[in-house]
Amino acid sequence: MKILQAVVRNYLETGEPVGSRTISKYTDLNLSSATIRNEMADLEEMGYIIQPHTSAGRIPTDKGYRLYVDCMLDEKEKELDEIKGVLLQKE
């Protein structure tokens, strides 16, 4: 999931396909480029990212964007639930 998030964020920032080395450099995953490439290949097989051409990095698909947004919404809902809980306790 962290690799997909990194691909989506980087692609949204740059508009260019994202390579494994970019993810390795700019995330705190502490994974080698080869490991990231393998995980990206798995994400590609599952339909979350695509490789526009052989020598390019990967870009998110509609399915990849959907999962990214759903995860963001889940995180925000958890935050709101925590805030509601704190407010109810104070009340």
Interatomic CA distance for residues 68 and 4, integer angstroms: 8
Give the containing element (helix H, strand E) for 49.
strand 49-50
Q: How confident is residue 28, by pLDDT bands cut at 50, 70 and 90?
A: confident
CA 50 vs. chain centroid, Å, equals 13
Q: What is the pLDDT of residues 10-19, one digit of tens each?
A: 999 999 999 9
Q: What letters, b where the CB count within 10 A reaches 16 and e where it falls short, cover 8-25? A: bbbbeeeeebbbbebbbe
Total-model pTM? 0.82
CATH of 2-90, one of 3.30.70.20, 2.40.50.180, 3.40.50.1360, 1.10.10.10: 1.10.10.10
Neighbouring CB atoms inside 10 A of 36's CB total 21
Judged against a pLDDT cut of 90, whether residue 26 lies above it is answered with no
Sorted by sequence, the CB contacts under 8 Å of residue 34 that are 6+ apart come out as: 20
Judged against a pLDDT cut of 90, whether residue 1 lies above it is answered with yes
Interatomic CA distance for residues 69 and 13, integer angstroms: 16
